[in-house]
Structure 1
Amino acid sequence: MRRSVPVFAAIAGLLVAGSIAVLTAGPAQADVQICDQYGSTTIQGRYVVQNNRWGTTAQQCINVTDTGFSITQQQGSSPTNGAPVSYPSVFAGCHYTNCSPGTNLPMQVSQISSATSSISYNFVSGATYNASYDIWLDPSPKRDGVNQMEIMIWFNRQGPIQPIGSSVGSGTVGGRTWDVWRGNNGGNNVISYLAPSPITSWNFNVLDFINDVRNRGAITNSWYLTSIQAGFEPWQGGTGLGVNSFSASVNGGGNPQPTGQPTTPPTGGPTTPPTTPPGGSNGCRVAYTANSWNNGFTASVTITNTSSSPINGWTLNYDLPSGQQATTSWNATVTQSGSTVTARNISWNGSIAPGATASFGYQGTMSGAYSSPSSFSLNGSACSRA
């Protein structure tokens, strides 16, 4: 499918849901050749395979089998400091209105009880590409266009290419150590997990990566898993690259949405200015959790309404320590003037019932040692610290 913004990282094969975790194999299908720019077909009655030659007019063809695909022609070429030429991939879920057969995605993260997958790749030498597994999430159950959060698992990297943004250190997810990168490609936030050496096959728990991204403050359990895709992003060459096999299962029945967390999907931008104050210094409480590295940080902020009256629209103000600058935000509109940060609710999380919470997060840059803000005010009234 067409990508509306260039991304430097692969958008890979999708984790489909159904209540059935294991399916018996159906009759084998004849191989299908796809050379159309955005041509696609289905396999196993549950996955979509797409050619997705979105970044070039040069010829690209794939051979689709009953279990995966391989690239048979790839004539495009792109500079390694720019976007790749294509993203041939297999997926389950919904990608630009193309939904895999029988998928139960999008599904709210809080409702997912299990999400497992397996992948087997075929790599080649002499080409510049990455092999990645993409997990897409959005605050709404979105079936079209670009989602707000892309999780990329780089199973292999060949040539002078790198993930979006910059490295924020190493992390352990799924029992493996990864170089973790974080950034924004102009259309969505991206957190990438780069393997230190090629991984040709793996059975793993997709929730491990979703939970790690949530713990970094980039999403909440109210977000929706919309699709997962596995494939390749070639810059130069790539004939012979293939996904030998792919399987995935997402099951519902997880924990219900916690009281006070938004359940209505977002529909627009900021709401009108707040009309109900929190009710004085004892009317609100703020929890501020941060992760920092040498020149940046992420922060997760949770506002609790401790008053007996609902809050209808909120604006949170606080000062960042010297050297810190807020950049990308989610679940709130965050601006900064000098050291003062102003965070305003968006359309779907402006109301906070008594005892309930609203959460948002953001990424920032910094110089010097990290420290957290010391005081907060909500709609002009001081809040206590959690």
Structure 2
Amino acid sequence: MKTFLHPTRHRVRRRLGALRTAATAALVALGSLTALVTATEPARADTLICDQYGSTTIQGRYVVQNNRWGTSATQCVTATATGFELTRADGSVPTNGAPKSYPSVYNGCHYTNCSPGTNLPMRIDAIGSAPSAITYGYVGGAVYNASYDIWLDPTPRTDGVNRTEIMIWFHRTGPVQPIGSPTGTATVGGRAWEVWTGSNGTNDVISFVAPSAISSWNFDVMDFVDQAVSRGLAGPSWYLTSIQAGFEPWQNGAGLRVDSFSSAVHAGGTGPTDPDPGTPATACRVTYTPNVWPGGFTTDVKVANTGSAPVDGWRVAFALPAGQSVTHAWNATVTPAAGTVTATSTASNARIAPGGSQSFGFQGTYAGTFARPGQFTLNGTACAVG
């Protein structure tokens, strides 16, 4: 996690014990010039991302990120309809140190870049279940792990380094090992794991290492969260902030895939819950009307329910272009201030009848050239724009 500079910040690997200043990477030539995608572009299937910290949205609810931070060598990922493939992974780093990157897909908030419609962060004791499913595709001739990361913090933060990281190592190749040292074994989710614990200087880490490769699994993330709580690495009043799945390559890695990923977090625990995520929308349209002046703007956003059923309790998620930040909002709560933001209804305008609409607005600042968001979702459903 790192200090916010633009909506697609990279994940600092805590093994190095220090945060780095992110830099904007140059566009990469891949044989013939290919259009590269940054986080300001709308999501679509088979999207190539070679920008160092570039990201895009898939399934209307998850973020795929390239996240190359430990090497200057070229890395590219291709976001698919259900996951991603690491299509280029040049270079290598020593296997006794940090990996060169963490290409991944996630639900939640990662350095102010929150996935559309997410209900994270959520208090641990307010969560009833957090079902997830993952299918990995592995390759030979590379040194890497397949790492599923769960992030916990005492506060509902959407930026910076979280206090505790849970890592699930589905597979590893070569002489790489988790942070810290082995501290025993545990059965979690009906599977046996080797458990490692330690600290990288900025956060605690608990790792669950599979004795043999797991290619596909459906499980409840809370089984691992409960392990962290029982070992004193988190508390019931802490927050689950992000659920991520990807790879940490040390050498090569082209061809590694997340073929499918799903993650949901359901309220139902004993603690206070976050606002209701609302009923699903079947169809919607968003009209975005800005008023722009040098360095600043206001915008009115009209959300129309073009489906046949009412929407009760709405959340509109969209990615602000790089350099834009919200300073004030009305008729909705808009958080965070930059990156992928979510506008949540108030008590007085929570219902959108079939054929009806609700409006909200906000004021903000921008740097460079003003641009409009490219995609909006209503309670997880992608909306037409116009």
Match of 1:85 in 2: 100
Which residue of 106, 120, 134 maps to 1:119?
134
1:76: Cα distance to partner? 2.2
> What one-letter code is carried by the residue in structure 1 that aligns with 2:11?
R
Question: Which residue does 1:195 correspond to in 2?
Answer: 210
Measure the CA separation in 1 of the matches of 2:244 and 2:217: 15
User: Residue 66 of structure 1 corresponds to which residue in structure 2?
Assistant: 81
Distance 2:109 2:11 in 1: 13
CA distance in 2, matches of 1:76, 1:142: 34
Q: What's the CA shift for 1:6?
A: 3.7
Contact kept in structure 1, 2:14 and 2:203, CA below 8 Å = no
Ranges in structure 1 where 5+ consecutive residues have no aligned partner: 9-27, 258-386
- Paired residue for 2:188? 173
Alignment of 1:87-166 (within 5 A): 87-166=102-181
| Pair member with larger Rg | 1
Shift of 1:195: 0.1
Opposite residue 200 of structure 1, the aligned amino acid is S
**Alignment TM-score, normalising by the size of structure 2:** 0.60
Letter in 1 for 2:259: N
The count of aligned residue pairs is 238
User: 1:347-369, CA deviations, whole angstroms, 9 ceiling, x for partnerless residues?
Assistant: xxxxxxxxxxxxxxxxxxxxxxx
Q: Which residue of 1 aligns with 2:46?
A: 31
Partners of 2:13 and 2:207 in 1: how far apart?
17
Return the match for 1:40 from 35, 39, 55. Answer: 55
Relative distance call for 1:6 and 1:256 in structure 2 (3 A) is closer
Q: How does 1:188-267 map to 2 (within 5 A)?
A: 188-256=203-271
The root-mean-square deviation of aligned C-alpha atoms, in Å, is 1.3
Given candidates 4, 7, 10, the residue that maps to 1:2 is: 10
- Secondary structure of the 1:73 match is strand
> Could you give the per-residue CA deviations for residues 19-62 of structure 1, whole angstroms, max 9, x where no partner exists?
xxxxxxxxx94310000000000001100000000111110011
- Structure 2 unaligned residues grouped into runs of 5+: 1-8, 17-42, 273-386
Partner of 1:383: none
SS across alignment from 1:143: coil
**TM-score, length-normalised on structure 1?**
0.60
Match of 1:239, as an amino acid?
A
Contact residue 12 and residue 69 of structure 2 kept, 8 A: no
Conserved in 1, the CA contact under 8 Å of 2:126 and 2:267? yes
Q: What SS does the aligned partner of 2:247 have? A: strand
Stretches (4+) displaced over 6 A: none
Give the C-alpha shift of residue 82 in structure 1.
0.6
- 1:4–1:145 contact (8 Å) kept in structure 2: no
Q: CA deviation at 1:5?
A: 4.3
Counterpart residue number, 1:349: none
Structure 1 Cα separation of the partners of residues 271 and 115 of structure 2: 26
Percent sequence identity over matched residues? 66
SS at structure 1 position matched to 2:264 = strand
1:217-366 maps to which residues of 2 (within 5 A)?
217-256=232-271
Retained in 1: the 8 A contact 2:186–2:192? Answer: yes
Q: CA deviation at 1:113?
A: 1.0
Alpha-carbon shift at residue 79 of structure 1 (Å): 0.1
CA deviation vs aligned residue, 1:243-302 (integer Å, no higher than 9, x gap): 000001101131126xxxxxxxxxxxxxxxxxxxxxxxxxxxxxxxxxxxxxxxxxxxxx
* 2:296 counterpart residue number: none
Q: What SS class does the counterpart of residue 54 from structure 1 fall into?
A: coil
Structure 2 counterpart SS, 1:113 = strand
**Cα pair 1:5 1:186 within 8 Å, conserved:** no
Letter matched to residue 152 of structure 2: L
Q: Secondary structure at the match of 1:191?
A: strand
Q: 1:209 is paired with a residue of what secondary structure?
A: helix
